[in-house]
């Protein structure tokens, strides 16, 4: 439960409100984790927030978090500089089904900041590329200025062994790509619904419609996984803050198989 001290090594500004922090343990410790897991990140004297790990699981030497500045804790984090200290507890929670997806089509669907928790899964799929059939990334953001990891998106697009679809909800004249919500990419994406595993993360409304669209394409709920974000305090199943019936999002999730969470997906924030 006690946060461990981590020192900030690098800050990268991804968009006008989103930044990536690379941290290293004060004792040189990095952070092994499974794709999809999160840490409780403590800004000293301000507060603690759950943040997914967005780095490469094969490079646990540094701990990487991509954070959108939305409120009390995350807004002051924008001002952090190299050398500043943060507290970290974790990693916590369940992970994306990269093992179950072996030998099948792996489809990643992200909305906005939802690409951050999915990036480690994509790194894993690409570094074990021969273990999977098709690998597909479908990513949507509000505007072109909201797109994360734009250099990497270009790099992934240039590969012949991964299909990348990017769309924005709204754009001005300079944007040459797709306009429309992420679900509009699903009918055109090349994967075999009966052979696919889908991993979905984004705002809850995006996840609801994405799950629906995947089912319309022929996927069953037991092959669709979603990551739920709910208010958390302890992160380890003690406080009940994230509890829904018998389920604790922090320790049973945040990644859930959709058939176990379908009802929950249709409930608003609790
Ligand atoms: C398992 C898990 C993983 C997460 N991973 C990430 C991650 O990788 N990166 C990341 O940036 N965030 C992530 N979040 C969300 C993050 O924890 C919250 O954005 C953060 O707790 C907000 O804290 P705050 O004190 O800055 O804002 P608060 O002061 O708590 O909120 C301020 C205002 O912002 C609104 N708000 C709060 N959260 C959000 C949100 N997510 N989007 C839009 N508005 C919001 C509130 O409704 C409120 O109006 C994750 C959450 C969970 C549960
Ligand atoms: S955050 Fe405390 S029980 Fe889940």
Pocket-testing residue among 229, 230, 241, ligand 1, by greatest number of atoms within 8 A of Cβ: 229
User: Cβ(41)–Cβ(65) under 8 Å?
Assistant: yes
| Ligand 2: centre distance to CA 231 (Å) | 8
CA of 233 to the centre of ligand 2 (A): 6
Nearest C-alpha neighbor of 86 from the set 5, 12, 22: 5
Of 86, 142, 90, 82, residue with least CA distance to 111: 142
Q: Could you tell me where the DSSP H helices lie in 79-229?
A: 115-127, 150-157, 204-216
Three-state secondary-structure class, residue 257: strand
Query: DSSP letter at 113?
Result: G
Which of the ligands is closest to the CA of residue 252?
2
Task: Determine if ligand 2 sits within 6 Å of the CB of residue 235.
Answer: yes
What are the pLDDT digits (tens) for 39-93?
999 999 999 999 999 999 999 888 999 999 999 999 999 999 999 999 999 999 9
Per-residue pLDDT reduced to its tens digit, 151-162:
999 999 999 999
**What average pLDDT does the chain have?**
93
Quote the DSSP letter at residue 264: H
Distance CA 50, CA 39 (A): 6
Does the bond joining 165 to the residue before it have cis omega, within 30 degrees of 0? no
């Amino acid at each position: 439960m006690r946060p461990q001290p981590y020192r900030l090594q690098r800050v990268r500004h991804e968009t006008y409100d989103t930044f990536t922090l690379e941290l290293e343990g004060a004792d040189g410790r990095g952070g092994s984790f499974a794709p999809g897991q999160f840490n409780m990140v403590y800004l000293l004297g301000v507060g603690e927030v759950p943040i997914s790990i967005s780095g490469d699981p094969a490079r646990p030497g540094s701990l990487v978090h991509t954070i959108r500045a939305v409120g009390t804790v995350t807004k002051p984090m924008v001002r952090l500089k190299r050398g500043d200290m943060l507290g970290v507890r974790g990693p916590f929670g369940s992970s994306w089904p990269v093992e179950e997806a072996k030998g099948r089509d792996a489809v990643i669907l992200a909305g906005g900041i939802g690409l951050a928790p999915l990036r480690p899964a994509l790194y894993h799929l690409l570094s074990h590329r021969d273990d999977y059939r098709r690998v597909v990334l479908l990513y949507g953001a509000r505007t072109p200025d909201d797109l994360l990891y734009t250099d990497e998106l270009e790099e992934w697009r240039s590969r012949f062994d991964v299909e990348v679809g990017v769309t924005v909800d709204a754009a001005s004249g300079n944007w040459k790509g797709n306009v429309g919500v992420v679900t509009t990419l699903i009918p055109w994406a090349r994967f075999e619904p009966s052979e696919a595993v889908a991993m979905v993360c984004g705002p809850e409304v995006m996840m609801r419609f994405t799950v629906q669209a995947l089912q319309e394409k022929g996927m069953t709920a037991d092959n669709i996984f979603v990551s739920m974000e709910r208010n958390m305090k302890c992160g380890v199943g003690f406080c009940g803050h994230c509890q829904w019936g018998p389920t604790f999002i922090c320790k049973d999730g945040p990644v859930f198989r959709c058939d176990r969470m379908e009802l929950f997906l249709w409930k608003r924030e609790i």
